[in-house]
Structure 1
Amino acid sequence: MAAISHTPLDKQLSQLTLRERKKLRTRVTIRRATYRLITEQGYEATTVEQIAEASEVSPSTVFRYFPTKEDIVLTDAYDPAIASSLRERPAGESPLASLRAVMAEVLERSMAHEPEELTQRTRLLVRVPAVRARMTETMSVTAKLLADVLAERTGRRPDDLDLRVFVGAVLSALREVTLHWGEHGCQGNPVALLHQALDGLEGGLRL
């Protein structure tokens, strides 16, 4: 897949402050070291101490950036820019279209720039119960972040029930797409699967 450039997410990443860029580089270094160690010796055998040594930081620094080992696997470089990218979607665009565009862009960037990490992360989600459980926990944080932005765009309260259900349904669709892709050997295009899932969510399940 060709490299993606000049997208809304690129813009948000380019607007990070120097301090934010340094933090992002540290997170990326830790994450890449983690994947390398997991490839060499497996998930369970990889310790935070080993990750810290391979990243040339202290274990406390690893924990400062990632509360758990599972978070290192699940967190990617684009998380800090997602809310801002969603906030910049066209004002008249439907919430589903906006979320679809932002999530598809993140997947496309991952496929273009970090295909091996995306594949390894997905396989770990399928194979390691602790990673899958942590993903479910962290989805609540992501859901609140997205609900806050959509509340601004729609004039609803962030705790509006319909809004919470909507965001939860979209994120659950993304989770199931990820697991489905991993369970089928990470074959095919996950972006196409995402569009398929959201089309089904929008149109309803036909008997």
Structure 2
Amino acid sequence: MIISTSSAFGGRFKGLWHLLHSRRFCSIKNAGKDAKEKLTSREYFYHIDLHGRLYLEEVQPKNIATCLKDLRFLDFFFRQLRSSKGFPHSEIYPFVSPCGRELNFITADDTPLVYHTLSQIQANESSVSTDTQLIYGGSLSERFFPGAVRMCGETGRLYHPTPARFLSKGEDPNWLSKGLVLPSRLGQAVAEPICLFSAAHLA
């Protein structure tokens, strides 16, 4: 089927194609209050679900087929993750991932860090031993300590401490000190009793 760009439908198709390819990963919203700011700053808006999947905010439906999957992008995005305190929109978007002049604002169904995979990773290049690691983002990892897993008494969700770098910038520990762990990924890895805590600790 040939689509003529001179037709009304073709014009809309061409415009949509240009929008999608002008920015591979982000939905575009002007950030500045004046023309100068609009030329030098952009804001993008995302959502993270309970599985740790990242979506453009306006994407519907949100499922495994529509989430962002590029591992390099995801790793960079989650490395930059921090509280949005002091940034615009912080009352609606509690997290932000800055990228140069771009600000990626984020909402989440729970915590923005979700450990989605349990993996055995070689301790170092000269070692034959392996460490058990929790994977988040694309391929980022944090050493897994079974005794550090905690369960929320209200929701039954499991949490594990997050990488220390998320707390080195004066972040509110109630926001980024706990990463959600998907129970189906743990299997029998948690041999020690799991402590309970209140959901108020995450509020």
TM-score in terms of structure 2 length:
0.27
Largest Rg, 1 or 2? 2
Q: State the TM-score, normalizing by the size of structure 1.
A: 0.27
If each structure's helix is expressed as a fraction of its own residues, which one has the higher value? Answer: 1
